[in-house]
């Protein structure tokens, strides 16, 4: 087991090298370099080309491509992620400022959607063909077809403008406000994000639960005279949960990538919003670092999924 995990993580290294190279290549392909952005446009006219070249060589920008990639990679490993082209603030600082907000939002949504999705999926499976199943199925169909941001907008109109239950958007920083007031801002975005992620979990959980209820051991449990709730919720659910656990693992990457749109809708000051504004203003270091970390999370999550499947299902062999 341990050697399996170590091997998986070692295999990650070449993949990360390739991806970091691609990301560096992407940064090189974008117009402008650090010098162009360091010097304000009005000052540019007063500076001679020779001075610019001197600055470039001092910063190591005239070195061969592979040398620059090497320097960049060494800096990356040491925790120096570069600087924002606009404000000059270190990308690590920006990430440290925005990451908590995103994690707060998407963790809440991940937990809620898993909870909603598996409960509704099980209910739907137990009442297959009945009214509650049909209602949930239709809701699931709408859920996968409606654009996430449209759902968010409708919720804002209903719960903020019409009912006035929640504040418009934004997020209060930790320590400044009481917990309940902060919760006020968190509830709507996280519920919207959760509900839009629920439909998938629900459909998956329903079919997995139906699968498990059709197995022989359920008949055995019934014929033993166990009460139906025990058969369904203890014997059936346990087997049905294995693929659902895997699905949850595959959703871990959504911690960063999944909330980009919702953060924009609710003006939530997280990584997603920073990413979108960085893309708009071609702020390359930020764009690339967010991309790099989201890929890192995806790859780590896929390893966790492998481990979880092996732990939950004794038939799976690690190799």
Partner 1 sequence: MARDALNRKMDRLLLLEEQGRLSGNPTNRTLRKIAANPLAIIGLVLFLILLLACMAAPLISTYGPNAIDLRNRLSPPSRAHLLGTDQIGRDIFSRILYGGRISIFVGLGSALGAALIGVSLGTYAGYRRGALDALVMKVSEIMMSFPQIILVSILVTIVGQSLWNLLLIFILTGWPSMYRMARSQMLSIREMEYIQALQAFGIGSFTISFKHMLVNAVGPIFVNITLSTAMFILQEAALSFLGLGVPLEQATWGNILNVAQDLNILRGAWWVWLPVGLVITLFVMAINFIGDGLRDAADPTQVG
Q: Which residues bind partner 1 (CB under 8 A)?
A: 15, 18-19, 22, 26, 29-30, 141-142, 144-150, 153-154, 156-157, 161, 168, 253-254, 256-258, 260-261, 264-265, 275-276, 279-280, 282, 284, 287-288, 290-291, 294-295, 298-299, 302
Q: At closest approach, how far in Å is the CB of 105 from partner 1?
A: 16
Distance, CA of 241 to CA of 118 (rounded, Å): 9
Please answer whether residues 275 and 290 qualify as being in contact, where contact means their C-beta atoms are separated by less than 8 angstroms.
Answer: yes
Name the minimum Å distance from CB 200 to partner 1: 13
- How many helices (H) and strands (E) are present in the chain, helices listed first? 16, 0
Nearer to partner 1, 117 or 152 (CB): 152
Percent helix / strand / coil, the chain, rounded to 5: 75, 0, 25
CA distance 270 to 261: 11
Write down the least CB distance from residue 51 to partner 1, Å: 29
**Least distance between partner 1 and beta carbon 18 (Å):** 6
The nearer residue to partner 1, 117 or 258, going by C-beta atoms, is: 258
Smallest gap from Cβ 253 to partner 1, in A, equals: 6
Q: What is the total residue count of the chain?
A: 319
- Give the residue from 225, 254, 221 showing the smallest Cα distance to 235: 221
Specify the residue, 241 or 249, whose C-beta has the smaller distance to partner 1. 249
- Per DSSP, the three-state class of 313 is coil
Q: Which is nearer to partner 1, 108 or 287 (CB)?
A: 287
């Amino acid at each position: 087991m341990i050697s399996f995990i170590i091997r998986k993580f070692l295999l990650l290294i070449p993949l990360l090298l390739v991806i970091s190279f691609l990301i560096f290549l992407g940064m090189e392909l974008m117009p402008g370099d650090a010098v162009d952005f360091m010097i304000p446009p009005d000052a540019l006219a007063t500076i001679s080309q020779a001075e610019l070249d001197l600055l470039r060589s001092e910063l190591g920008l005239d070195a061969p491509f592979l040398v620059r990639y090497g320097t960049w990679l060494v800096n990356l490993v040491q925790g120096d992620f570069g600087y924002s082209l606009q404000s000059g603030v270190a990308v690590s600082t920006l990430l440290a400022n925005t990451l908590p907000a995103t994690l707060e939002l998407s963790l809440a949504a991940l937990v809620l959607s898993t909870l909603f999705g598996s409960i509704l999926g099980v209910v739907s499976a137990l009442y297959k063909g009945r009214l509650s199943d049909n209602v949930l199925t239709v809701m699931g169909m709408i859920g996968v077809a409606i654009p996430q941001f449209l759902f968010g907008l409708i919720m804002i109109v209903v719960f903020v403008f019409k009912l006035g239950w929640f504040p418009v958007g934004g997020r209060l920083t930790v320590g400044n406000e009481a917990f309940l007031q902060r919760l006020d801002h968190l509830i709507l975005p996280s519920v919207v994000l959760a509900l839009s992620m629920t439909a998938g979990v629900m459909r998956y959980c329903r079919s997995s639960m139906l699968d498990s209820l059709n197995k022989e051991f359920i008949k055995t449990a019934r014929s033993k005279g166990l009460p139906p709730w025990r058969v369904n919720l203890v014997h059936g659910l346990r087997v049905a949960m294995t693929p659902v656990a895997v699905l949850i693992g595959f959703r871990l990457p959504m911690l960063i990538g999944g909330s980009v749109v919702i953060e924009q809708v609710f003006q939530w000051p997280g990584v997603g919003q920073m990413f979108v504004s960085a893309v708009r203003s071609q702020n390359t270091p930020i764009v690339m670092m967010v991309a790099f970390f989201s890929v890192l999370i995806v790859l780590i999550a896929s390893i966790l999924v492998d481990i979880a499947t092996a732990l939950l299902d004794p038939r799976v062999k690690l190799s």
